[in-house]
């Protein structure tokens, strides 16, 4: 089967600092794949390289088998790539419904419609609302994002990306900053994602990782240290040393 997403020899340096070092990675359709590694390992940068927010220093990114390395972000989104952000990146002054509707309108290629009347926005709003209902998030539809508690803002992060109906979804620490008692709704939302979406999730909470992921990649200083099933990763001595061990100490 052709991978939904693939990177070949991906490199990124910031000056002398190498943040992505020869990353060969692939994500099957329907994958539930976790990317873990210490702070500063280059996980967010990896997502920025895939989504086109940053250009790589060398290497390639393939979506559905097609090389998208030179394509801008918008073209990658059109080919099915959706992402969320570690730090909330939302339309704070707009309602939840409008946040999601902006994504829906862009997916439908109607984001630039000038001359159809305002009610032509109805289509995008209806779809966005249906999505919020499915996510059991409809009661907050008209609340402005900046008035939502932080935990719910993290849900909007995911809802916007789902408005794109992605075939590949990159989640950058979806529960970051949310106390573990409140992260249950976020985990539920991720567990209920359509099974055919390929999901790459960056997460620090190991309990969450083992619950959500069927495969795990460990990134250390921009390099893939090891990749395998959760049980293999849990048993790997090197992983314990650089990652799990570090957490116990600090």
Ligand X SMILES: Nc1ncnc2c1ncn2[C@@H]1O[C@H](COP(=O)(O)OP(=O)(O)O)[C@@H](O)[C@H]1O
Instruction: By CB under 6 A, name the binding residues for ligand X.
Output: 14, 19, 37, 39-45
Binding residue count for Mg ion, defined by CB under 5 A: 2
Nearest one of 68, 129, 145, 81 to 107, comparing CA atoms = 81
The residues, any chain, with a CB within 8 Å of residue 31's CB and separated by 6 or more, are 4, 198, 199, 200, 214, 215
For 198, half-sphere exposure in the C-beta direction (CA atoms, 13 angstrom radius) is 15
Please, which residue, 39 or 248, has the CB nearer to ligand X?
Answer: 39
| Coil, helix or strand at residue 74 | helix
Q: How far is the CB of 159 from ligand X (least distance, A)?
A: 22
Q: Among ligand X, another protein, Mg ion, none, what binds residue 14 when CB lies within 5 to 8 Å by partner kind? A: ligand X
Q: Do strands 198-202 and 215-220 pair parallel, antiparallel, or not at all (unpaired)?
A: unpaired
Q: Among Mg ion, ligand X, another protein, none, what binds residue 240 when CB lies within 5 to 8 Å by partner kind? A: none
* Residue 126: count of CB within 10 angstroms of its CB: 12
Q: How far is the CB of 141 from another protein (least distance, A)?
A: 4
User: Rounded to an integer, what distance in angstroms lies between the CA atom of residue 216 and that of residue 184?
Assistant: 21
Q: Among ligand X, another protein, Mg ion, none, what binds residue 19 when CB lies within 5 to 8 Å by partner kind? A: ligand X
Which stretches of the chain bind another protein, using CB under 8 A? Answer: 51, 53, 73-78, 83, 85, 89-95, 97-98, 101-103, 105-107, 110-122, 124-126, 129, 138, 141-142, 160, 163-164
Residue nearest to Mg ion (CB): 44
**x/- string (CB under 5 A) for Mg ion, residues 66-95?**
--------------------x---------
Q: Among another protein, ligand X, Mg ion, none, what binds residue 33 when CB lies within 5 to 8 Å by partner kind? A: none
Q: Among another protein, Mg ion, ligand X, none, what binds residue 142 when CB lies within 5 to 8 Å by partner kind? A: another protein
Edge-to-edge strand list for the sheet holding 215-220: 81-83, 168-172, 198-202, 32-36, 215-220, 223-228
Nearest one of 104, 25, 14 to 54, comparing CA atoms = 14
Please, which residue, 41 or 96, has the CB nearer to ligand X?
Answer: 41
Q: How far is the CB of 20 from Mg ion (least distance, A)?
A: 13
Tokens 């359509």 locate to 194
Q: How far is the CB of 161 from Mg ion (least distance, A)?
A: 16
| Coil, helix or strand at residue 35 | strand
44 lies in the binding site for Mg ion (CB under 5 A)? yes
Q: Among Mg ion, ligand X, another protein, none, what binds residue 45 when CB lies within 5 to 8 Å by partner kind? A: ligand X
Nearest one of 24, 31, 87 to 222, comparing CA atoms = 24
User: Rounded to an integer, what distance in angstroms lies between the CA atom of residue 7 and that of residue 246?
Assistant: 28
Please, which residue, 111 or 177, has the CB nearer to ligand X?
Answer: 177
Binding site for Mg ion (CB under 5 A): 44, 86
């Amino acid at each position: 089967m052709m991978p939904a997403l693939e990177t070949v020899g991906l490199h990124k340096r910031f000056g002398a600092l190498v943040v992505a070092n020869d990353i060969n990675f692939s994500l099957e359709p329907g994958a539930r794949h976790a990317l873990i590694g210490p702070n500063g390992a280059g996980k967010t940068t990896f997502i920025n390289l895939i989504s086109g927010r940053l250009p790589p220093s060398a290497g390639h990114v393939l979506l559905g088998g097609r090389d998208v390395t030179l394509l801008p972000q918008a073209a990658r989104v059109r080919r099915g790539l959706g992402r969320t952000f570690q730090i909330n990146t939302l339309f704070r002054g707009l309602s939840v419904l409008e946040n999601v509707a902006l994504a829906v309108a862009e997916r439908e290629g109607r984001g630039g419609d000038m001359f159809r009347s305002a009610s032509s926005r109805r289509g995008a709003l209806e779809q966005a609302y249906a999505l919020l209902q499915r996510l059991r998030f409809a009661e907050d539809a008209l609340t402005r994002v900046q008035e939502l508690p932080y935990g719910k803002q993290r849900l909007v992060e995911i809802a916007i990306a789902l408005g794109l109906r992605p075939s590949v979804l990159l989640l950058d620490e979806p529960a970051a900053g949310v106390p573990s008692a409140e992260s249950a709704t976020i985990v539920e939302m991720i567990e209920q994602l359509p099974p055919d979406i390929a999901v790459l999730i960056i997460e620090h909470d190991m309990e969450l990782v083992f619950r959500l992921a069927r495969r795990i990649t460990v990134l250390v200083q921009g390099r893939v240290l090891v990749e395998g099933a959760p049980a293999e990763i849990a048993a790997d001595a090197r992983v314990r040393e650089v990652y799990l061990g570090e957490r116990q100490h600090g």
